[in-house]
């Protein structure tokens, strides 16, 4: 798990072959936030947060709460109080395919929250959903225990049985990028050399 603590989502995405990245509409409320951890999943009816709280209660220290809120934007699935509860319970972060409210106060809490945006309207509390079941969030299927990595570029999901392989590929990608920067960065001549080589190898 700790392999993913400092890996950017771009490298993890490359390690996954460009797969399993959530819809671009799901982004962190603060650009500096980076989250990683095992997924604890919640399947919540649109705008309803009973199961969000149930998921938080049953999640394990260091988990990331992944909420399938059906992409609904009329009612918030959490506000600053609920996110504060998640922080008190030791969750690493919350990813919601839906919206939240109390953005300013949530930013002050500094617990990474990824969402489609915000609304003024409070959550409803009339229907229950399910927890710890497979869900689809931002177009990506997420199973309990999968690895979640998120930052300013978005959120990616690593299937649990691919974690070691993807982490190694992500680190190799970072090393390759660093070497490329060292070889070609810093001057117009090196930039032109790189582009010329690229075009010769890729242009038909």
Task: Consult the annotation and say whether 81 binds a ligand.
Answer: yes
Q: Which of 195, 197, 52 is nearest to 128 (CA)?
A: 52
H or E stretch at 14: helix 9-15
Task: Consult the annotation and say whether 153 binds a ligand.
Answer: no
Own/partner pairs, 101-108, CB within 8 angstroms, 24+ separation: 101/76, 103/29, 105/79, 105/80, 106/29, 106/79, 106/80, 107/29, 107/30
Task: Consult the annotation and say whether 79 binds a ligand.
Answer: yes
Q: Which residues, in sequence order, are CB contacts of 148 under 8 Å at separation 6+?
A: 35, 36, 37, 38, 39, 64, 66, 93, 95, 142, 155, 156, 157, 158
User: DSSP 3-state assignment of 162?
Assistant: helix
Task: Consult the annotation and say whether 198 binds a ligand.
Answer: no
Known binding-site positions: 79-82, 101-102
Known binding-site positions for substrate: 79-82, 101
Known binding-site positions for Mg(2+): 102
């Amino acid at each position: 798990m700790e392999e993913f603590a400092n890996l950017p989502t771009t490298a993890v995405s490359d390690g996954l072959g460009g797969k399993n990245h959530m819809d671009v509409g799901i982004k962190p409320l603060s650009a500096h936030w980076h989250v990683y951890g095992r997924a604890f999943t919640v399947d919540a009816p649109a705008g309803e947060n009973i199961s969000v709280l149930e998921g938080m209660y049953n999640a394990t220290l260091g988990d990331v709460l992944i909420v399938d809120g059906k992409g609904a934007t009329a009612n918030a699935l959490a506000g600053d109080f609920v996110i504060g509860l998640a922080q008190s319970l030791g969750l690493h972060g919350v990813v919601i395919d839906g919206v939240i409210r109390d953005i300013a106060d949530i930013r002050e809490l500094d617990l990474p929250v990824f969402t489609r945006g915000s609304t003024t309207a409070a959550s409803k509390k009339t229907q229950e959903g399910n927890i710890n079941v497979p869900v689809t969030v931002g177009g990506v299927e997420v199973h309990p225990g999968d690895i979640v990595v998120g930052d300013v570029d978005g959120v990616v999901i690593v299937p649990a049985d691919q974690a070691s392989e993807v982490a190694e590929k992500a680190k190799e990608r970072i090393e390759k990028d660093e070497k490329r920067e060292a070889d070609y960065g810093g001057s117009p001549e090196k930039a032109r050399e790189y582009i010329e080589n690229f075009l010769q190898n890729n242009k038909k």
